[in-house]
Amino acid sequence: MTDERTTVAAFLKKCNVYAEASIQRKRERGEQDDIPKWEAYIEFNQHALEEIANGTLDKWFESNSEHQPPMVRLNVDDMEHVERSIWLNGILSPRPVVVAGTFGEDDVRNFAPLSSVMQVSTSPPYLIASLSIHKDKRPRDTLQNLRNTGKVFLNVMPPTPRGAAIVDETATPLPFGEDEGALLEMNTVEGRPLLLEESVAAVEASFVEEHGLPGAVATLVVLRVEAVWFSSSTVPSGGLNVLCQHGRDDMTPSPQGWTQRVLKHYGPV
């Protein structure tokens, strides 16, 4: 609750700083009519700040829902595809979203968002990802390109509306061979046409093998990490703040509320 109170108080203070600057600008321009509204706005925010500080609004920051144990069993085989997707994505999330960049024939670029990338081995460094098919039953361009060229850049996106817009645009189901990167302006690192400048980090990987999933249309691919790309050679302290998929269709920042380090997996020191 302390973190929430601090965040809200900091926001209200910034609102008042903005309002005071607006009042000053209006006075300089001789626009007197709107000033009382801004002054009332500042007074309201200041009153809220005082009530946050003295504990009057503590109940606003308390969870109103009691924890209920998961006692209801829902058989996923009884669900339609969309309902099953909503449940699984809602429970097993958030997950980081990457924009995979690959080359097709004639060096045509392809960009596509993936939320199924997972590290499964450190030595050797392996990732896996699940690639579904288009509604017209054709394989994803990413899979076809991996089969042909064997290379991919996994761009980790920033937790911003712009990052979400890039994910949304690159998810557009274009015909095979068309460049999703042309749907909106996206700059790439010089000499690296698959490495997005706006990514917070990236993983360069090569295609190892693929496995059909029993009874599924998706294909599981194994990727070997060749390099990681970052803004410096210094190892980032803790996890990066990255764009995640939460639920079926929502983009959200990675959780930043609190961190607790777990070390028992190392065994006795």
Work out whether strand 192-196 and strand 201-212 pair parallel, antiparallel, or are unpaired: unpaired
Give residue limits of the domains in the chain.
2-61, 88-233+241-253
Q: Where are the alpha helices (DSSP H) in 133-242?
A: 141-149, 161-170
Distance CA 97, CA 252 (A): 10
Residue 181: per-residue pLDDT: 66
Residue 6: per-residue pLDDT: 84
Q: What is the DSSP letter of 68?
A: -
Are the C-beta atoms of residues 222 and 209 closer than 8 Å to each other? Answer: yes
Tell me what the mean pLDDT of segment 146-175 comes to. Answer: 90
CATH topology of domain 88-233+241-253: Pnp Oxidase; Chain A (2.30.110)
Query: For residue range 211-260, what is the model confidence (pLDDT) as tens digits?
Result: 999 988 899 999 999 999 998 888 776 678 889 988 888 888 886 666 77
Residue 65: per-residue pLDDT: 64
Residue 186: per-residue pLDDT: 86
Tell me what the mean pLDDT of segment 151-160 comes to. Answer: 93
Residue 5: per-residue pLDDT: 82
Task: Name every residue whose Cβ is closer than 8 Å to that of residue 51 and which is 6 or more positions away in sequence.
Answer: 57
Inform me whether the pLDDT recorded for 1 exceeds 70. Answer: no
Inform me whether the pLDDT recorded for 2 exceeds 70. Answer: no
Question: Which has more pLDDT, 1 or 124?
Answer: 124
What is the torsion angle, in degrees rounded to the nearest 10, for the CA atoms of residue 224, residue 212, residue 214 and residue 73? 50
Tell me what the mean pLDDT of segment 13-27 comes to. Answer: 92
Tell me the whole-structure pTM to 2 decimals.
0.71
| Mean pLDDT for all residues in the chain | 86
Residue 124: per-residue pLDDT: 92
The band of 144, judged by pLDDT with boundaries at 50, 70 and 90, is very high
Are the C-beta atoms of residues 66 and 78 closer than 8 Å to each other? Answer: no
- Which residue has tokens 């990167």? 181
Distance CA 239, CA 221 (A): 25
Distance CA 163, CA 257 (A): 21
Tell me what the mean pLDDT of segment 171-197 comes to. Answer: 82
> C-alpha 66: how far from its chain's center?
28
Query: For residue range 34-90, what is the model confidence (pLDDT) as tens digits?
Result: 899 999 999 999 999 988 888 888 888 776 667 677 778 889 889 888 888 888 878
Residue 239: per-residue pLDDT: 74
